[in-house]
A = this chain, B = another copy of it.
Amino acid sequence: MSTTTDADPTPGRRGRPPLPATEAKILAATREILAEGGVRSLTMEGVAARAGVAKTTVYRRYRSRDELALAVLIDMVRTVTAGPEVADVRTELVQILRATLDVLRTTLMGRVMQGLVSELAVDPHLSEAFRDQVVALRIEEVAGVLARGAERGQLRPDLDVGLVHELLFGPIYYRLFLSGEPLEPSFADRIVDAVLPALVGQRPL
């Protein structure tokens, strides 16, 4: 007998449930198109065709091109795993930035971000989703490092996590979006070295 007290997921749901295969086909098609031609070539029509799915089915799940692209992006973020915890603040920060640089340089993530950033900057709904599901993770990591650093007495205890996060990641995205400089791993070290002195100093940040 089943345990009748188990919560039935969405109990009153009616109607035919969405096929999980369809979802997967759409995301796969989107990823392929993105890889081949970038965000410029991403169209709802193209995705539907490539996925072997009706246009209406795509629209039923993603109300816009951007929402779809964001879904793929978030899907990819899941795979990014945090590095091991070490005792040294500098090493930890470098690890975090390097992981970000690696993802942006070696996966679709960079191209998708480039194509998505204009929408992200303009559409509040989209940017909220992005911040909640992507940025928040990175901030958490930085917050953890700062907290541990402060405990050990290596860092000032009154640091503004948001600001530190902006100082660390800002240059990376600046390169991705505007300067076009390569996102080489050593960039992580240079950023951390530039910001770290301020994190230990006396003058309030």
Count A interface residues, CB 8 Å.
44
In contact, A173 and B176 (Cβ under 8 angstroms): no
Nearest CB of chain B from residue A172's CB, rounded to whole Å: 7
Residue among A121, A130, A172, A175 with max Cβ neighbours from chain B (10 Å): A121
A117-B177, A130-B178, A173-B178 known; A205+B194 contact, CB < 8 A: yes
On whether the beta carbons of B197 and A193 are closer than 8 Å, the reply is no
How many angstroms from the CA of A176 to the CA of B163 in the assembled complex?
A: 14
A99-139 CB contact bits vs B (8 Å, 1 = yes)?
00000000000000011111111100001001100010000
* B-side contacts of A120, CB under 8 Å: 177-178
Assuming A115-B118, A118-B115, A194-B198, is B166 touching A171 (CB within 8 A)?
A: yes
- Out of B166, B179, B195, name the residue touching A131 (CB < 8 Å): B179
CB within 8 Å of B: which A134-189 residues: 135, 162-163, 166-167, 169-181
B127-A180 in contact (CB<8A)? yes
User: Which residues does chain B contribute within 8 Å of A28, judged by CB atoms?
Assistant: none
Q: Could you list some 25 contacts between A and B, CB below 8 A? A: A39-B122, A117-B177, A117-B178, A120-B177, A120-B178, A121-B176, A121-B180, A127-B178, A127-B180, A130-B178, A135-B178, A135-B179, A162-B181, A166-B175, A167-B167, A167-B171, A170-B170, A170-B173, A170-B174, A170-B175, A174-B174, A194-B195, A194-B198, A197-B197, A197-B201
